[in-house]
Amino acid sequence: MKLIHISDFHLVQAGGTLLGLDPAARMDACLADVEAHHADADLVVVSGDLSETGGEDTYRILEERISRSKLPIRLMLGNHDIRENFATVFPGQMAENGFAQAAIDLPEGRVITLDTLDDGKVTGRLCDSRLAWLKEKLEEAKDRPVYLFMHHPADKVHLPALDVFGLLDPEPLFALLKAHGDVRHIFAGHLHRLVTGNWQGIPFTILRSTNHQTALDFVSPTTTNCFEPPMYSIILADRDSLIVHIHQFAD
Ligand SMILES: [Fe+2]
């Protein structure tokens, strides 16, 4: 099974730039690279901050691009996104409970994409409704591996400027994941940095953005942007293994 993970497009108005970069051109280059080399992907997940502004116009730019793609793309929301505007353009990406999340069954297990957007806040949150949905989706897959995608990292990574903007109150989430017992990996975005490790024994990979990045700083309480190359990941999973390859698709 091959999954592609992309994060943080940060699209702006047509023709606009963000920190001197063109987010739409970066998105296009990223998707073109995936289309050229991974047309066989079972699923492509974009883990939120699709838009910088949350404007409906930015989701139209995204819709126009992915309508030209044959890739099976699942979209998620981040703190910069506005759920209502996203839902207007992408009604098919919304779950029945009104959140942009999904459970997708593939040959090697179930992919679950979570909506951690807490409207208007930088931090993420899983409310009771979303936790109940997740519990149900995990129980349905109780005999199968689960691969979890979420915009906000589930816990801290020892970067003070970024850790304060993570998921609030992660313990109910971890209780559900541990009760399932076979959550193979958590994939996240939000930090605009490449970080891997494990939380409570569950491995994770956090990706850079396709646009701008944040500087590695273990001391400062404030974020500094930087311009390390953009990336996406190629995830190869079978019954006994899960491998994450990182590809920098542009300099
Ligand atoms: Fe972001």
By residue range, what is the domain housing residue 24?
A: 2-247
Residue 119 Cα to ligand 1 middle (Å): 15
Q: What is the mean pLDDT of residues 62-89?
A: 98
Residue 140 Cα to ligand 1 middle (Å): 31
User: What percent of the chain lies above the pLDDT cut of 90?
Assistant: 99
Residue 246 Cα to ligand 1 middle (Å): 18
Angle separating helix axes 23-37 and 56-67, nearest 10 degrees: 20
Residue 95 Cα to ligand 1 middle (Å): 22
Residue 208 Cα to ligand 1 middle (Å): 9
Please list the alpha-helical segments (H only) found in the chain.
23-37, 56-67, 83-89, 128-140, 160-163, 171-180
Query: What's the pLDDT score for residue 145?
Result: 98
Query: What's the pLDDT score for residue 243?
Result: 98
Residue 51 Cα to ligand 1 middle (Å): 9
Residue 191 Cα to ligand 1 middle (Å): 7
Query: What's the pLDDT score for residue 251?
Result: 84
Average pLDDT score over the chain = 97
| Run of H or E including 45 | strand 43-46
- In angstroms, the CA 180 to CA 31 distance is 33
Query: What's the pLDDT score for residue 171?
Result: 98
* CATH code where residue 8 lies: 3.60.21.10
Query: Which residue type does 163 have?
Result: D
Express each pLDDT in 109-167 by its tens digit: 999 999 999 999 999 999 999 999 999 999 999 999 999 999 999 999 999 999 999 99
Residue 223 Cα to ligand 1 middle (Å): 12
Residue 66 Cα to ligand 1 middle (Å): 20
User: What percent of the chain lies above the pLDDT cut of 70?
Assistant: 100
Give the pLDDT band of residue 21 (cuts 50, 70, 90).
very high
Residue 106 Cα to ligand 1 middle (Å): 28
Q: Into how many domains does the chain fold?
A: 1
Bridge partners (DSSP) listed for residue 18: 21
Residue 80 Cα to ligand 1 middle (Å): 7
Residue 179 Cα to ligand 1 middle (Å): 30
Find all residues with CB under 8 Å of 1, minimum gap 6, and list them: 42, 106, 107, 108, 109, 236, 237, 238
Query: What's the pLDDT score for residue 196?
Result: 98
Query: What's the pLDDT score for residue 97?
Result: 92
